[in-house]
Chain A
Amino acid sequence: MEATPATKSPLTLVTHLTVLLLVALWTLPTAGLFISSLRDKDQLAVSGWWTALSSSSQSLQGRTGAAPDQKEENGVYVITGNLLGDTAGRVSAFGTTSREPEAYEAGAAADLGDGATLTVGEDGAYRLESPVPFESKRGQRVFVTAEQPPRFTLDNYREVLRSEGIGRSFVNSLTVAVPATIIPILIAAFAAYALAWMEFPGRALLIAAVVGLLVVPLQMSLIPLLRLYNGVAEVFGVPAKTYLGIWLAHTGFGMPLAIYLLRNYMAGLPREVLESARVDGASDFEIFTKIILPLSFPALASFAIFQFLWVWNDLLVAIVFLGAQDESLVLTGRLVNLLGSRGGNWEILTASAFITIVVPLLVFFTLQRYLVRGLLAGSVKGG
């Protein structure tokens, strides 16, 4: 920190630049996704998101008016109109065949034969002239290359919420995440209190078991629990894949971290507070509910955030215990399906992906303090 003046300035500059590079690498991918999700889908398909603010060149097709639209001006028959319609843009070139869509520059006159000419201006206005009356009922086909200003829109979001099932999945994700976050807390809190402040044989062994269970891979639980759920469903004649099932599953899987975090925190509370309460004749139950629980709020919040992020972002447990049918897909599952079925439609993928990550991001930025605290307390487990 206290570098000598000679080495300080270049080193500080390097530090600033390196951190800037790291931050760029760590934020630009998400930024790219977000920007892309707001772009017009035609522009998104032909240019990178980093060009979102510059105009993009697009090939359009149009038709001029036909015989009924013509007017006679000084013995010349004329059809006028605008090929761009209401959209803004600047025409750079046009052509009348698909083989040469950029045959003429804007403002130049294209020879259509029999003395007829077509002129397309930069603003898309065209003028079709002929010495003889137009007879065709269909207009002349025109290809234009137009520079279009950047267009931003919420259409992509509207589309995925309406027709891609993202709205439905959002509700499903919420349905899974809220109870699966809240139910484990109370169960774990009582257990953590017992492990932190009550003396009984086997306590050390139980704590060791909890630490061990922290790292048991989820994969170990899947097949036995799937069989168990199917068995229970058969015996009682109920469906095997229910919300109750997944809530309980997340409760079980989150339990080791919950107990571990809360026990560590409760064990660190000052002994005097508890002793004085005991002397006053408070029972364990009263001490827990009136003193420990309120004091443990930061740890409870930490765990709640962890569990919420983990449940919301989970794919494996949701697929296995809730199923992959259309009506029960959570957001992560829906996104995997879209990656398969809509692989190239980036307007759908980017908007869907952003909807799935926006809730965790909000939680992250508003409650980061608790998240960091929880991480530091429970760094034995990592997600």
Chain B
Amino acid sequence: MQQLFWALGTVVIGVVGCAGYFYVSNLVLDTLLPGRGPDPVRAGRNINRANLIRPWLFLAPAILALGIYLVYPVIESVWLSLHDRSGQNFVGLSNYVWMLNDPGFRESMFNNMLWLLVVPAAATGFGLAAAALTDRIWWGNIAKSLIFMPMAISFVGASVIWKFIYDYRAPGEPQIGILNALVTWFGGDPQAWLTIPFWNNFFLMVILVWIQTGFAMVILSAALRGIPEETVEAAVLDGANPIQIFFRIKMPQIWGTIAVVWTTITILVLKVFDIVLAMTNGQWRTQVLANLMFDWMFRGGGDFGRGAAIAVVIMVLVIPIMVWNIRRANAEMKGH
């Protein structure tokens, strides 16, 4: 309980501190370079100077935070990936050579590619279907809210939910996991789903698809609603049926949004670690890059060189999307 008061105290100190920084630095600037005075030329020059400095006063804490927590680590990670486990001795590319020959890394890479193929496609597909269908019925908003709900659930919480679904009991015993209960009800044998190599990857992917479908649905639903009425009306007049209208008229107009949703989920897939850690911890051939990296970070006291090398691989996979995002943001800003 005491630590909660500490936390609240920190909030107050933090907020007051931030506000104080902005207020005082702004005040100092105004005092040093007064914008009013007997000499109008000087006052004007002061205003110009202050306007050059003020943005950086406003930006300083944010730039500091971004620098320490994101920019510096990216550079340092690349640097560390060229060093040994303690981070002291330079070893060149040997961590990357080790990686290429390591069965654990190959397995993770293969699984990650599977995840990348399946999860964004499935989540976007389900999301699109949910968006298109819920827009046509009167209880669509309630349905949307319920499909969206898993988005609020942590990966670990969702893992418990789905581990319960995959629960396995020996044949003959009552199955309390609903998947095995259904399988036995249809006359099949219960399976320990999470231990079946290759296919168990898909049982883990289901969890992320389940979480992310709501996200895809919300964005795509907004995009579908933004489609100009005239295009749809014209198609109706030409006698197109609803399915044709959806695939031939609506879909082509929201490709941009579909791409955004797809890439966003792709990035999430590359970072996903909690689900694998909680469900299998990489056993039974379900390892992925993010969990492998976590593993090497702490295994036997931690191998910072190898861990950093794996992180760099994840980063390299993200870079194309990053470039695409920046270009898109630039184009958008110029458009405004």
Contacts and interface: CB of A to CB of B under 8 A. Distances in A.
B106 interface: no
Contacts of A349: 160, 163-164
Interface stretch (B37-45, B92-100, B195-203, B320-328): B320-328
Contacts of A376: 218-219, 222
Nearest to B81: A223
Contacts of A186: 15, 18-19, 22
A44 B176 contact: yes
A217 B129 contact: no
B271 A346 contact: no
Contact of A206 (B59, B157, B160, B267): B59
Contact of A22 (B147, B152, B260, B297): B147
B316 to A, nearest CB: 10
A108 interface: no
B283 to A, nearest CB: 12
Contacts of B136: 1, 12, 15
Contacts of A314: 154
Interface stretch (A65-73, A145-153, A357-365): A357-365
A22 B126 contact: yes
Contacts of B310: 219
Nearest to A176: B7
Given A186-B18, A244-B10, A382-B265, A217 B210 contact: no
A356 B154 contact: yes
B52 interface: yes
Contact of B69 (A28, A249, A353, A380): A249
B265 A48 contact: no
Nearest to B142: A23
A253 B67 CA distance: 11
Contact of A255 (B26, B66, B307, B308): B66
A285 B55 CA distance: 10
A222 B56 CA distance: 28
Contact of B157 (A25, A214, A215, A353): A353
B261 A194 contact: no
Contacts of A190: 22, 58-59, 61-62
A138 to B, nearest CB: 32
Q: Which of A179, A217, A381 has the most CB of B within 10 A?
A: A217
Contacts of A290: none
Contact of A217 (B63, B80, B270, B329): B270
Interface stretch (A30-38, A77-85, A116-124, A295-303): A30-38
Contact of B74 (A11, A12, A216, A372): A216
Most buried by B among A30, A188, A203: A30
Given A7-B241, A23-B147, A368-B145, A243 B6 contact: yes
Interface stretch (A86-94, A156-164, A331-339): A331-339
B26 A379 contact: no
A255 B153 contact: no
Contacts of A335: 156-157, 160, 278
Given A15-B136, A191-B59, A220 B11 contact: no
Contacts of B188: none
A23 B129 CA distance: 12
Nearest to A171: B4
A204 B160 CA distance: 44
Contacts of A36: 164
A48 B58 contact: no
Given A211-B326, A259-B62, A30 B130 contact: no
B330 A339 contact: no
A49 interface: yes
Given A219-B311, A244-B10, A47 B157 contact: no
B275 to A, nearest CB: 10
Contacts of B270: 217
A16 B68 CA distance: 51
B32 interface: no
Contact of A316 (B87, B151, B242, B294): B294
Given A27-B146, A252-B66, A336-B277, 10 more contacts: A182-B14, A187-B18, A217-B314, A219-B311, A248-B69, A256-B70, A346-B167, A353-B161, A368-B148, A380-B329
- The 10 closest A-B CB pairs, nearest first, are A252-B69, A313-B154, A191-B62, A382-B264, A364-B152, A224-B76, A221-B73, A353-B160, A194-B58, A224-B73
